[in-house]
Amino acid sequence: MSTRKPSYANPKPCNHLSAYKLKYGSSGYKSLQKSLKSAPNGRTSVRIHETKIPRCSFCNGFEGRLYICLICSSVSCSNHAVLHTQLEIGHDLAVDVQRAELFCCACSDQVYDPDFDKSVMAKHMLDLPCSTNSADSIGERLCERKRLGGSGVVLSEFKKPEKSGFVRDHRAKSCYPLGLRGLNNLGNTCFMNSVLQALLHAPPLRNYFLSDRHSRRTCRKRTANRLCLPCELHGVYSAVYSGDWTPYSPAQLLYSWWQHSENLASYEQQDAHEFFISVLDGIHEKETKARNHTKDSGDCQCIAHRVFSGLLRSDVTCMTCGFTSTTYDPCLDISLNLDTSRCSWSDASNKPAKANGSSCSSTLLGCLDLFTKPEKLGSDQKLYCQNCQELRDSSKQMSIRKLPMVLCLHIKRFEHSLVRKMMRKIDSYLHFPFSLDMTPYLSSSIVRNRFGNRIFAFEGDESEMSTEFEIFAVVTHSGTLDSGHYVTYLRIQDQWYKCDNAWINEVDEGIVRASQCYMMFYVHKTLYYKANIDLRHLPVSTQKEAFQRMAGCC
């Protein structure tokens, strides 16, 4: 584990632990190993005797916390652990019987030793049926995953400063930062405009298109009657960053998107999330070169997947034997269920108090907690356990194996109600942070938590990439399920802008917080700030002046 993450840095051992280690090494841990027992849920405890329950050697009690001495393996309860240390000199270290965690009786505090945790985990791995990826298809994916490890190379491409930013500044007529340009509604296309505004300001994607990686002049994918979606996107990028601020009509793009997904080609209202997925798919289709043979998108080197693709890990654990089967799935975004559990609970308890409904607020972190929470699969959906060779109750837990460069979180506001046999929209408010740390939702953290407080390097500890994200765009939806309106809020240089089709306004962050967010776009913190530096080359004075003059322009 790197020193970058203080939460996992090894705490300093106390004097007693150091002395114990000096004298005995880890032989005490080894002898304790055989009495460790692991439960299927991952918790480890010390089982001293098969049938007898442990009791304190002083008071004969068996309740409360019990500690077993590492030197003489006598058991004492938390009240008498100090007494034992005082009577037997040097018997300072003990192990919590129930949790199999190290405790220093002299300091009366928990202590941490990587060697101890290693021996616990080694025993744990032995006890439980090996949780390696056993299915054939998964083995294939595993190779893929290894190759994915080289994502650092991809990153470096985007670190090049965007030189064009310097020269262009004189063309920025508007008081607003470059790239803010309204998009005309072409007939119920606010779903497209809202997603486009977010895509236009995703730093890695913007850099890609503005640096002519895919340009109309060089593209050979275009044929007489079929347009190329990335080419049209390039067109939109050029138009939006040209410095012109009269609203732009992305008609060509709409047409080429219609060609790409014919089933959605109409003037009807569409789902913004659906559009987002289908545009990325369109880019992927055109950008994937013939030399790229991989079918699966997880390994794809096209710009859409390099920027948005992450890897989800799902663990299905048998509740009987603890066997875990792990699968990895690539994802372009993460769809989160609204964390409404607390609201519905309060509704049930006091129905008349409707005012309470507004006070209970779900948070994005709550949704992410819900997403990564182990979920017991119902008894009607038992899964076949490879170890027991039987259908068993199991639990499933999701976690994020690899974070994408741009994290798109999609809130499932559309709920299928079983009672009324119809879809409905959840209008509830969701609080979201502007800076988001994804560390608790990574596979390493999730798996680590499953085993208690252990300092242990789990297989495939990822995160050479940073886990801190900054928000840069929020797509919000107002209205009902069938008809509504999408508005995007963009965050540029810590200032929020509301993009409502052709109109762009400066707004307070309070307005953004109060909106009904539907999709949220987060980018790596490093990329977010870097993206802003590009736009900061304007001398401060002229920028200020421009603000005053043009404040009412939109």
**57 binding other proteins? (CB under 8 A):** yes
Q: How far is the CB of 273 from other proteins (least distance, A)?
A: 29
Binder to other proteins among 33, 73, 211, 386 (CB under 8 A)? 73
Alpha-carbon dihedral of residues 127, 132, 133, 135, nearest 10 degrees? -50
Residue appearing with tokens 């890897």: 311
The pairs formed by 235-242 with CB atoms below 8 angstroms and a separation of 24 or more are 236/196, 236/200, 237/200, 237/206, 237/209, 237/210, 238/209, 238/210, 239/181, 240/179, 240/181, 240/200, 241/168, 241/178, 241/179, 241/206, 241/210, 242/171
- 256-315 residues in contact with other proteins (CB under 8 A) are none
Which span (61-69, 152-160, 244-252, 532-540) binds other proteins, by CB under 8 A?
61-69
Binder to other proteins among 4, 18, 25, 53 (CB under 8 A)? 53
- Annotated catalytic residue within 56, 77, 104, 190: 190
Structure tokens at 229: 């979606």
Binder to other proteins among 26, 33, 74, 356 (CB under 8 A)? 74
Q: Using the minimum distance from each CB to other proteins, give the nearer residue, 78 or 211.
A: 78
Q: Active site includes 77?
A: no
Are 518 and 273 in contact by the 8 Å Cβ rule? The answer is: yes
Q: Using the minimum distance from each CB to other proteins, give the nearer residue, 39 or 353.
A: 39
* Through-space distance between the first and last CA atoms of the chain, rounded to whole angstroms: 50
Q: How far is the CB of 95 from other proteins (least distance, A)?
A: 13
Are 371 and 398 in contact by the 8 Å Cβ rule? The answer is: yes
Structure tokens at 211: 């640096």
CA distance 193 to 191: 6
Burial class (CB in 10 A: 0-12, 13-18, 19+), 228: buried
Write phi, then psi, for 402 (nearest 5 degrees): -135, 130
Write phi, then psi, for 398 (nearest 5 degrees): -100, 150
**482 binding other proteins? (CB under 8 A):** no
Residue 11: CA atoms inside 13 Å, Cβ hemisphere, count? 14
CA distance 472 to 544: 22
DSSP 183-197: B---SS-HHHHHHHH
Plot region of 461 (φ>0 → left; ψ -120 to 50 → alpha; else → beta):
beta
Q: How far is the CB of 205 from other proteins (least distance, A)?
A: 37
Burial class (CB in 10 A: 0-12, 13-18, 19+), 99: middle
CA distance 343 to 131: 37
**41 binding other proteins? (CB under 8 A):** yes
**9 binding other proteins? (CB under 8 A):** no
Residue appearing with tokens 């290894």: 146
**361 binding other proteins? (CB under 8 A):** no
**71 binding other proteins? (CB under 8 A):** no
Binder to other proteins among 59, 135, 219, 511 (CB under 8 A)? 59
Binder to other proteins among 67, 103, 176, 241 (CB under 8 A)? 103
**109 binding other proteins? (CB under 8 A):** yes
Binder to other proteins among 58, 414, 434, 458 (CB under 8 A)? 58
Which span (51-59, 166-174, 213-221, 353-361) binds other proteins, by CB under 8 A?
51-59
Binder to other proteins among 108, 344, 358, 480 (CB under 8 A)? 108
Which span (53-61, 261-269, 306-314, 438-446) binds other proteins, by CB under 8 A?
53-61
Binder to other proteins among 34, 49, 220, 354 (CB under 8 A)? 49
Structure tokens at 379: 């008894």
Binder to other proteins among 17, 75, 120, 471 (CB under 8 A)? 75
Q: Using the minimum distance from each CB to other proteins, give the nearer residue, 106 or 407.
A: 106
**107 binding other proteins? (CB under 8 A):** yes
**429 binding other proteins? (CB under 8 A):** no
Q: Using the minimum distance from each CB to other proteins, give the nearer residue, 30 or 55.
A: 55
Q: How far is the CB of 444 from other proteins (least distance, A)?
A: 21
Q: Read off the DSSP letter of residue 244.
A: -
Binder to other proteins among 147, 163, 342, 549 (CB under 8 A)? 342
Q: Active site includes 300?
A: no
Q: Using the minimum distance from each CB to other proteins, give the nearer residue, 78 or 327.
A: 78
**87 binding other proteins? (CB under 8 A):** yes
Residue appearing with tokens 């880019």: 283
Q: Using the minimum distance from each CB to other proteins, give the nearer residue, 35 or 501.
A: 35
DSSP 306-368: HHH-EEEEEEEEETTT--EEEEEEEESSEEEE---HHHHHHHHH-SS-THHHHH--EEHHHHH
Binder to other proteins among 8, 24, 62, 429 (CB under 8 A)? 62
Which span (106-114, 196-204, 423-431, 520-528) binds other proteins, by CB under 8 A?
106-114
- Annotated catalytic residue within 107, 321, 360, 485: 485
**39 binding other proteins? (CB under 8 A):** yes
Q: Using the minimum distance from each CB to other proteins, give the nearer residue, 284 or 448.
A: 448
**356 binding other proteins? (CB under 8 A):** no
Strands 394-402 and 375-376: antiparallel
Residue 270: CA atoms inside 13 Å, Cβ hemisphere, count? 26
Residues with a known catalytic role: 190, 485
Interface ranges with other proteins (CB under 8 A): 39, 41, 48-49, 51, 53, 55, 57-60, 62-63, 65, 72-75, 78, 83, 87-88, 103, 107-110, 341-342
